[in-house]
Amino acid sequence: MWGSRMALHRLQRIAVAPLSVSGGAPTKVQREMSTLPRVYVTRQIPPEGLRLLHKSGQVQLELWDSDDVPVPRKELLQRVKGVDGLLCVLTEKVDAELLDAAGPNLKVLSTMSVGYDHLNLEELKKRGIHVGYTPDVLTDAVAELTVALLLTTSRRLIEAAHEAKTGGWGTWRTLWLCGYELANSTVGILGLGRIGVAIAERLAPFKVRKFIYTDVAPRPELAKAINAEYVSMDELAKQSDFLAVCCALTPETNKICDRNLFSKMKKTSIFINTSRGGVVNQEDLYEALSTGQIAAAGLDVTVPEPLPTNHPLFTLKNCVILPHIASASYTTRNAMSALAANNLLLGLRGEPMIKGLKL
């Protein structure tokens, strides 16, 4: 498992050799006139990735120069025409339409994300396009944010801060703003991967009594690291005082957290999702929260994103919603951009990517 800081230092040291041009170092004019591969970057990614792309001397770089506004779809379809490589983020839907617009030159796609549900993998496989992504480097940041969201939700910190600021803080009361402790609790993990293990490692010092998990199959090596017990989905719901969702979004996990799951959970349970919004049926979650079927929920991901401000979930005091910031640390985002850049450059050279999807 890579820590994000160690990963960034390693990625900064990876030697992606500049393209050689006979007759000495290539001048700016020579590069402009050369047949360097064309690359389009769909966002102003963090500086480490852009620095690697510029310094490589391997590509003609075009960039949607904004971090605040995604490239409009119509613009994107124009810009990708004839490119050899594409570096995107999770806001870009890479489907048949986009791949048709890019044309046959496109050989490498690198996404600055650990999730890849925005990519049509079948279309990419059919066209022989190599795909890189950025797992592992964001493990620490996501685990930290998950723990922060869990504590914020279970101890009702947003409610408490609001009461203090708006005059609700009166005399001391015996049960006012009481929440739920991690000590002696059972923590359930839906989808045990590196992030799930990292979350459990951070929660263990809080004197958690037991860790349980479910997945498509038992994962004994990962479970051993946190002394976690494999259980069925039903048992995960029934036993968990805190349920953290860490699974990928796939056809099998789409809306897997629904009325059936929530109905089996304890009325005192806390539900946390930092994976993908699509794994939750939000209408069922609203019903579970508003009727007291479960105690509270903390979400870093929703459908859609951003979630409209008039969505019913925002009306609930027992639901904390964050704007998809789990990997939002300077170190991690720079490590992600550096890994995405290295994946792209290595793929264009016909070399194995550091982190490539097996299609």
Contact in structure between 101 and 80 (CB atoms under 8 Å): yes
Q: Which residues on adjacent β-strands are paired with residue 7?
A: none
Average pLDDT in the 126-154 region?
A: 97
What pLDDT sits at residue 8? 63
Where are the CATH 3.40.50.720 domain residues in the chain?
33-137+331-357, 157-164+177-317
**Three-state secondary structure of the chain:** CCCHHHHHHHHHHCCCCCCCCCCCCCCHHHHHHCCCCEEEECCCCCHHHHHHHHHHCCCEEEECCCCCCCCCHHHHHHHCCCCCEEEECCCCCECHHHHHHHCCCCCEEEECCCCCCCECHHHHHHCCCEEECCCCCCHHHHHHHHHHHHHHHHCCHHHHHHHHHHCCCCCCCCCCCCCCCCCCCEEEEECCCHHHHHHHHHHHHHCCCEEEEECCCCCHHHHHHHCEEECCHHHHHHHCCEEEECCCCCCCCCCCECHHHHHHCCCCCEEEECCCHHHECHHHHHHHHHCCCCCEEEECCCCCCCCCCCCHHHHCCCEEECCCCCCCCHHHHHHHHHHHHHHHHHHHCCCCCCCECCC
- CA-wise closest residue to 109 among 39, 50, 44: 39
The answer to whether 156 and 179 are in contact (CB under 8 A) is yes
Domain 157-164+177-317, second-level architecture: 3-Layer(aba) Sandwich (3.40)
Q: Which whole-number Å values give the CA distances from 63 to 92, 327, 345, in the listed order?
A: 14, 22, 16
Active site residue 9: no
Pick from 67, 65, 60: nearest CA to 91: 67
pLDDT band (50, 70, 90) for residue 35: confident
How far apart, in whole angstroms, are the C-alpha atoms of residue 280 and residue 260?
11
Q: What is the CATH number of domain 33-137+331-357?
A: 3.40.50.720
pLDDT at 15 over 50: no
Over range 40-60, report the average pLDDT: 96
Per-residue pLDDT, averaged over 153-176, amounts to 97
pLDDT of 2 higher than 70: no
Q: How far is CA 91 from the centre of its chain?
A: 12
Question: What is residue 18's predicted lDDT score, i.e. its pLDDT?
Answer: 42
Is the pLDDT at 189 greater than 80? The verdict is yes
pLDDT surpassing 50 at residue 33: no
Instruction: Check 9, 130, 162, 324 and give the catalytic one.
Output: 324
Average pLDDT over residues 324-333: 97
Q: Which one-letter amino acid corresponds to residue 199?
A: I
Distance separating the N- and C-terminal Cα atoms of the chain: 23
In this structure, the number of other CB atoms found within 10 A of the CB of residue 304 comes to 9
